[in-house]
Structure 1
């Protein structure tokens, strides 16, 4: 297999030629159709996937059927959950679904184990990606616990719009994006439509006034700044 794909991952392009040769010889490029469930709870990872094209949604589903989107894997990234399961030799606790047609490099478990133990550069690549995504997951927890739903919804609509002006999603799917109830999302979207920020049709949310949504989304940063300014200094007295 050609080594050209390694250039899509800056951390891998710094690998020693010997290690790059191992990766290209023992890995394979796979194609996954849109809508495919790539992994799910209880399954054991056999490969680390590095995305070349497309997008994968990783989500958690509770026993009651409630969903929350944890993160998305884009081209040039790897899946931190897969990394964690490979390192710990555990099964998946969430599912990954191809949101688009996907092309990815599959690095077999045995190759992953060998390179993590033998190559400092490869190990740095793995743990750098891992630490960044863990930070993102902590941010999700903080948002769910402390941030207003309307602000989070505005932010997510802006993120998902991707320059098209609209989002193909049901209220239930948007609820999964934010880890809340469908009724809450329906109420907030109704308010956004009343304000003239969006227009709704079956399975589609059209962003009519992106600036209005951006102003609401920016309230989070402004509130954080105000809180920091107002917070009293800690006393130096004992």
Structure 2
């Protein structure tokens, strides 16, 4: 059963620092939105959404080049906030991103107009937004460091190990195209490296999935 908005808004970290008028504004204007897997949640070419709290599912924030190549910057999951969807009211955000639902996803939206009003009047809201964006900036720098300074076999091994540790299952149910997008590479490069891993007995390649056969061996690559 989905909680009423009046209860969900109380999970917002700065809720206790809002005035009665501000709480009423958020309660009245906040809304729940649902997105299907791979649906665009927010982009620089769409209307500015606002701050979102992920209720279920997860999102991916990425850059897309003029040639259509996508680079994943970071992800956010249930019970996490994303302020990149409120870029129109955060003037420090000067690069264009696209936010996509990685699975069927529901979010609580605090509309951009409400965000702008709260950031102008409440130092706690402004501090919260900048703290969250600083955290995401650190994740973005980490992603860039991985691309610049890590060998690709290490990046791919690290990705497979992280998938295993987060799900506790030795099977990564993703296509090679999806994995390539996740590790910021081309599908052909991922396919070639997975074949090398398979030849060494580290993984087994299945249709739409990769089975980890030697997790310790993958860890030694790191």
Place the TM-score, normalised by the shorter chain, in its bin: 0.7 to 0.9
Deviations 1:150-197 (A, max 9, x none): 111111122334223222222222222222222221221112212222
1:138 CA drift (Å): 0.8
Please state whether the residue corresponding to 1:143 is helix, strand or coil. Answer: helix
Number of the residue aligned with 1:140:
143
* 1:101 counterpart = 2:104: yes
After superposition, residues 33-112 of structure 1 pair within 5 angstroms as 33-88=36-91, 93-112=96-115
Tell me how far apart the structure 1 counterparts of residues 94 and 46 of structure 2 sit (CA, whole Å): 5
After superposition, residues 205-224 of structure 1 pair within 5 angstroms as 205-216=210-221, 219=222
The CA RMSD measured in Å over matched residues stands at: 2.4
Tell me how far apart the structure 1 counterparts of residues 84 and 93 of structure 2 sit (CA, whole Å): 10
Q: Does the C-alpha gap of structure 1 residues 134 and 71 become closer, same or farther in structure 2, counting only changes over 3 Å?
A: same
Tell me how far apart the structure 1 counterparts of residues 41 and 158 of structure 2 sit (CA, whole Å): 27
1:77 CA drift (Å): 2.0
Tell me how far apart the structure 2 counterparts of residues 91 and 50 of structure 1 sit (CA, whole Å): 22
Number of the residue aligned with 2:168:
163
1:91 CA drift (Å): 9.4
TM-score where L is the length of structure 1: 0.80
Tell me how far apart the structure 2 counterparts of residues 127 and 27 of structure 1 sit (CA, whole Å): 20
Number of the residue aligned with 1:197:
202
TM-score where L is the length of structure 2: 0.85
1:92 CA drift (Å): 7.9
Please state whether the residue corresponding to 1:88 is helix, strand or coil. Answer: coil
Are 1:198 and 1:205, in contact at CA under 8 Å, matched by a contact in 2? Answer: yes
Structure 1: give runs of 5+ residues left out of the alignment. 220-238
Kindly name which structure, 1 or 2, has the bigger radius of gyration based on alpha carbons.
Answer: 1
Please state whether the residue corresponding to 1:112 is helix, strand or coil. Answer: helix
Number of the residue aligned with 1:25:
28
Q: What is the aligned residue count?
A: 216
Number of the residue aligned with 2:192:
187
Following superposition, which runs of at least 4 residues in structure 1 exceed 6 angstroms of deviation? 89-92
Are 1:42 and 1:91, in contact at CA under 8 Å, matched by a contact in 2? Answer: no
1:115 CA drift (Å): 0.6
